[in-house]
Amino acid sequence: MNYFTDAITAAIKLLLQFDPEIYLIVWTSLKIALIATTLAALIAIPVGILIAINTFIGKRMVLQLLNTLMAMPTVMIGLIFYGLLSRRGLLGDYGLLYSEPAVIIGQASLILPIIINMCVVAVQSADSRLLPTLKSLGASQSQLFLPLIKELRYVILAAVITGFGRAIGEVGAAMMLGGNIQGTTRTMTTAIALETSKGDFELGLALGIVLLIIAFSVNFILQQLNPGKHI
C-alpha cells in the first residue's frame, strides 16, 4: 500500500512541477485526438443523418455492419492500416507510417462508426412528427440537415464527445501506426504502457491522472451544455 501511495505522491509532484516531457505527451494526445474527432465528425454526422432519413435496400445490413465496427478491437484497426501504410502497402509511397497523420487516420477510422451509429439512433429517436412536418413544408433532403442538427444538437454533441473519449483513450492502433516516437507520436496511453513496462510507474501514473482529469472534464462540459432530459 505504501508503494502505491508513494507513487501517487510522486506522480502529483511531477504534474505540479510541470514536467515538460509529461505535458508534451499530453499536448500530442490532445492534438491527435481533436483532429481525428473533427475529421470523423465532419464525415459521420451527415452520413448518419442520410442513413437515418432514407430507406434503401441493404439498410439493415449497413446498420449491422456499423454495430460490428463499433466493437472492433483497436489492434484490428491498427493491423489494417499498418498493412495499407507500410512500404509494401497500397499507400506505402506516401510514407505515413509512424507519423501523426497515421495515428489520426487510425483514430478517426475507429470512432467513425461510433458517431455514425449514434447519429442514426438520434434521428430515429427524434419526435416522429419532425421529419413529416419538414417534408410537408417542402424541405428537400439537403434542407433537412440543419433543422435536424439543431433539434438533435445535444445528442450529436454527445456522439462527438463519445468519439473523442474513445480516441484519446485508444492505445492499440496508436502504438502500431505511430510507433510511440518521443515528441512526435507518443500519446498518453502508449506512454503509460511504455513507462510502466520500463518500471517508471510514477510517470505512467501521472499520465493516467491527466487522462482521468480529461475524461472527467469532457463529461462535465457535456453535463453543463446539456442539462436535463437530453443527457
- Diameter of the chain by CA atoms? 69
* pLDDT value of position 88: 87
Asked if pLDDT for residue 9 goes beyond 90, the answer is: no
102 pLDDT band, cuts 50/70/90, is very high
pLDDT category at 229 given cuts 50, 70, 90 is very low
pTM of the model: 0.87
What Å distances lie between residue 204 and 71, 142, 182, 194, CA to CA?
27, 48, 14, 8
Residues 97/86, Cβ–Cβ less than 8 Å: yes
CB 168 within 8 A of CB 211: yes
Give the residue numbers spanning the domain of 16.
2-230
Weakest-pLDDT range from 51-60, 104-113, 157-166? 51-60
Return the exposure string of 159-172: e unless at least 16 CB atoms fall within 10 Å of the residue's CB, then b.
bbbbbbbbbbbbbb
> What is the model's pLDDT at position 164?
92
User: Residues 99-114: what's their mean pLDDT?
Assistant: 94
* pLDDT score for 40: 96
CATH of the domain at 61: 1.10.3720.10
Measured CA to CA in angstroms, residue 99 lies from 177, 180, 190, 203 at distances of: 7, 9, 14, 23
What pLDDT, on the 0 to 100 scale, is given for residue 45? 93
The values of phi and psi at residue 226, to 5°, are -135, 65
- The domain tally of the chain equals 1
In whole angstroms, what is the distance from residue 79 CA to residue 95 CA? 16
Q: Which helix (H) or strand (E) holds 185?
A: none
Task: Give the orientation angle of helix 20-53 with respect to helix 100-124, to 10 degrees.
Answer: 40
Give me 181's grid cell.
Answer: 516516437
Per-residue pLDDT band for 137 (boundaries 50, 70, 90) equals low
- 80 backbone φψ class: left, alpha, beta (φ>0; ψ -120 to 50): alpha
Residue 153, pLDDT score: 84
For residues 67-76, b (16+ Cβ closer than 10 Å) or e, as one string? eebbeeebee
